Amino acid sequence: MALCVFLGPVVAGLAGSILPSFGYFPALGGEAFSLAPWRALAAYPGLGAAAWFSFWTGLAATLLSLAAALIFTAAWRGTVWFKAFQRLVSPLLSVPHSAVALGMVFLLAPSGWAMRAVSPSLTGFERPPDLATAPDPFGIVYVACLVVKETPFLFLMILAALNQIPDSPLSASARTMGYRRTIAWLKAVAPLVLRQIRLPVLAVLAYSVSVVDVALILTPVTRPTLGVLVLRWFNDPDLATQFVAAAGACLQIGVVLAAGLVWKLGELGAGRLFRRWIASGDRSRGENGLRVGGFALASLVGVLGGFGLVVAALWSVAQRWRFPDVLPSAWSLRFWDRHAEALLQAAGVTLTVAAVAAALSVLLALACLENEKRRGLKPGNGALWLLYTPLLTPQIAFLFGAQVLLVTIGLDGAWVAVIWFHMLFVGPYVFLSLSGPYRKLDPRYRAAAVTLGATETQAFFRVVLPVLLRPVLVAAAVGVAVSVGQYLPTVFAGAGRFETLTTEAVALSAGGDRRLVAMLALSQSVLPFLGFLAAIMIPAWLYRDRRELSGFR
């Protein structure tokens, strides 16, 4: 089956992480199994703290993002504020994680824009104070950054779910029973929404526990996450450390699974409380708090994300911008000018890879879902877990094994390899953003089509696909955004020969020039932004006369 070929690297990648963790790595002379790597891992100073840090920040970020997206939707759906946030979502989703993290530093660091705005007038600071604000030792800004990035994603997933849920009649009927707006929505609609976005939430959890690039920027050197440590070990010039790195990668998988388990248990407990709350009949208690809280969380996301981007834009055209100047003292377009050609070229490669990987992933996801539908298969089998493995495993561990496979079959450095590897990460996101809307599509549309004489295939192309055009395009846009952000898969599969916006950004950001980094972060955001824009505008235009599908209801 096509899926097996597609997932080959996943198996190779897993083997490439697990075997070395038990000392088996023939190319480095490790030919006997042993527990030595695990012992070395356990002895590493600060390992427990790092694992715990990854664990709780991931859970906290997921919980807060979900709460922000859900409560805001509950309290403000149908208002101008809701529309405003909806408009903000696409740009925020398009910005790579690392760019949001940099934006937070630009904004919140002691030399950041927030401090400049009040210095020296209010603070008297002529030089930045010696305060650990971003990164901070408690992980607050780190979690905040993840929330800024994940809330829009979950918000989008909630919107997609709402396409299939008759939420206005449901919450309206609750309101007629005396429930106030937010409470009504939370009690009548939220349980249905939550059931539908379970997979995206778990993906956010896995991502937040194992993310590396954000942690590199927003955690102090002395308070690394487990992911940062694993990266450190893999990059250690002493190849013997590869064994420890592999063991660390396996531990990382374990931490992700543990967080998933805790989340699941929490879900059960919260579900019970939630049901009790629903049954309590409370109609208005907490309404105001929820409204204010939802608004505050959403605006925090918007302000932190949005302002970070604005400050990044300023940096990209600054020549000199020293503390405590609020605006650059000398401006220059030379970074854009100098790099325009290289950027365009890299953008071409990026777009090609992203478009093909996203399109193929959408096709594959549709084929899987259609197949599942026609054969009446139930989702949730082993293949699905395998599909999500690339999201659960530290990329760098996973990619080494996968690359050995690629080199063995002589495909490294080829377009097909880069696209294939991108699909390993694009595919799961496309699948999880598409499967909800797909499975929730009223099966009677299809039944109506076939009883009118259309074959299954005709029904798919003439009814299912057009009706699902918006979720399909949104899934493709999510895929493009994921593909654009891939660094290690591009480097590994492309044998370093594919220059994308992200490889350029990572290589150049090693030099730490804020203006260059800001410019690259913005350029990285452009393609995904256009993708999301297309995903919204194409159906809106095609279906401008079709109220149910235009997306403006």
Partner 1 sequence: MSAVSAAVDDPETGRGPEPCSELRSAGLALRSVSASIGGRDLFINLNLSVGPGEIATVMGPSGAGKSALLSHICGVGDPDFSFGGSVALNGHDVGALPASQRRIGVLFQDALLFPHLSVGENIAFGLPTGLGRDERNARIAAALADAGLTGMGGRDPATLSGGQKARAALMRTLLAEPKAVLLDEPFSKLDAALRDKFRRFVFDHVRERALPTLLVTHDPADAAAAAGPVVELAPP
Partner 2 sequence: MLGPLSANFAGLMARVKGALAASVLIGGLAACGAVVSSASAQSADARWEAVVEKARGQEVFWNAWGGAEVYNDYIAWVGEQVQARYGVSITHVKLGDTAEAVRKVLAERSAGRSTDGSVDLIWINGENFKTMKDNALLYGPFADRLPNFALIDTEANPTTVSDFTVPTDGLESPWGMAKLVFIHDQATLPEPPRSVAAILDYANANPGRITYPAPPDFTGSTFLKQVLYETAADPAALQRPAGENFDAVTKPLWDYLDAINGSLWRGGADYPKNSAALRQLLDDGEIDLAFSFNIGEASSAIAQGQLPETARTYVLDGGTIGNTHFVAIPFNAANREGAMVVANFLLTPEAQARKATPSIWGEATVLSIDRLDAAGRAFFDAIPSDPASLTPEELGATLPEPHPSWMTRIEEGWLQRYGS
Cβ–Cβ < 8 Å for 160, 471 = yes
Q: What CA–CA distance (Å, rounded) separates 68 from 269?
A: 20
Nearer to partner 1, 126 or 548 (CB): 548
Which partner in partner 2, partner 1, none is near 496 (CB below 5 to 8 A by kind)?
Answer: partner 2
Choices 214-222, 262-270, 416-424, 470-478 (CB under 8 A): range interacting with partner 2:
214-222
Cα separation of 117 and 41, whole Å?
Answer: 45
The answer to whether residue 496 forms part of the interface with partner 2 (CB under 8 A) is yes
Place of tokens 């300023």: 314
Note the residues at the interface with partner 1 (CB under 8 A). Answer: 375-376, 442-456, 458-459, 462-463, 466-467, 469, 543, 545-549
Site for partner 2 in 221-280 (CB under 8 A): 221-224, 232, 234-239
Find out whether 484 and 524 touch, Cβ atoms under 8 Å. yes
> Does residue 17 belong to the site contacting partner 2 (CB under 8 A)?
no
- Binders in 413-432 for partner 2, by CB under 8 A: 413
Residue 28 within binding range of partner 2, rule CB under 8 A: yes
- To which residue do tokens 């150049």 refer? 508
- For residue 370, the minimal CB distance to partner 2 (Å) is 36
- Name 422's Cβ contacts closer than 8 Å, sequence gap at least 6: 353, 354, 357, 482, 483, 486, 489, 490, 493
User: Per-residue string for binding with partner 2, 112-141, x by CB under 8 A?
Assistant: --------------xxx-x-x--x-x----
413 binds, among partner 2, partner 1, none (CB under 5 to 8 A by kind): partner 2
Q: Which residues are 330's β-sheet partners?
A: 320
Give yes or no for a contact between 239 and 189, defined as CB atoms under 8 angstroms apart: no
Q: Is residue 451 close enough to count as binding partner 2 by CB under 8 A? A: no
Candidates 72-80, 374-382, 399-407, 527-535 — which segment interacts with partner 2 by CB under 8 A?
399-407
**Tokens 């509950």, residue?**
74
In the numeric block, which tokens belong to residue 374? 């026609």
Q: What is the rounded distance in angstroms from the CA atom of residue 290 to the CA atom of residue 283?
A: 13
Retrieve residue 187's tokens.
């009690």
The residue among 324 and 466 lying less far from partner 1, judged by its C-beta, is 466
Residues contacting 385, CB < 8 A, separation 6+: none
Contacted by 445, from partner 1, partner 2, none: CB < 5 to 8 Å by type: partner 1
Closest CA to 301 of 88, 117, 105, 485: 88
Which residues of 304-395 form beta strands (DSSP E)?
318-320, 330-331
Partner in contact with 453, chosen from partner 1, partner 2, none, beta carbon below 5 to 8 Å by kind: partner 1
CA pair distance 269, 283, nearest whole angstrom: 22
Q: Does 548 bind partner 2 (CB under 8 A)?
A: no
Nearest partner of 373 among 441, 320, 419, 427, judged by Cα: 441
**CB nearer partner 1, residue 276 or residue 375:** 375
SS3 content of the chain, % helix, strand, coil (to 5): 75, 0, 25
Minimum distance between the CB of residue 391 and partner 2, rounded to whole angstroms? 22
> 278, 300, 407, 540: which one contacts partner 2 (CB under 8 A)?
407
Query: Within positions 40 to 59, which residues make up the interface with partner 2, using CB under 8 A?
Result: 45-46, 49-50
User: What is the pairing mode between strands 318-320 and 330-331?
Assistant: antiparallel
Segment 149-188, which members bind partner 2 (CB under 8 A)?
none
Q: Which stretch binds partner 2 (CB under 8 A): 25-33, 157-165, 304-312, 532-540?
A: 25-33
Q: Any contact of residue 26 with partner 2 (CB under 8 A)?
A: yes
User: Which residues have CB under 8 Å from 147's CB, separation 6+?
Assistant: 61, 64, 65, 68, 301
Distance CA 305, CA 403 (A): 35
450 binds, among partner 2, partner 1, none (CB under 5 to 8 A by kind): partner 1
Assess contact for 32 and 204: CB atoms under 8 A.
no
Report d(CA 194, CA 263) in Å as an integer: 13
Per CB under 8 A, the segment of 186-194, 447-455, 495-503, 532-540 that binds partner 2 is 495-503
- Region of 159-167, 372-380, 457-465, 487-495 interacting with partner 2 (CB under 8 A): 487-495
Beta carbon nearer to partner 1, 253 or 467:
467
Query: How many residues line the site for partner 2 (CB under 8 A)?
Result: 66
Looking at this protein, which amino acid is placed at residue 36?
A
Q: Of partner 2, partner 1, none, which one does residue 203 interact with (CB within 5 to 8 Å by kind)?
A: none
Residue type, 434: L
Contact of 259 with 205, CB cutoff 8 Å = yes
Nearer to partner 2, 380 or 512 (CB): 512
Q: Which does 370 bind (CB under 5 to 8 A by kind): partner 2, partner 1, none?
A: none
Q: Report what 442 binds from partner 2, partner 1, none; CB cut-off 5-8 Å by kind.
A: partner 1
Residues at the site binding partner 2, with contacts judged by CB under 8 A: 26-29, 45-46, 49-50, 110-111, 126-128, 130, 132, 135, 137, 216, 220-224, 232, 234-239, 318-320, 322-323, 330, 332, 400, 403-408, 410, 412-413, 491-492, 495-497, 499, 503-504, 506-516
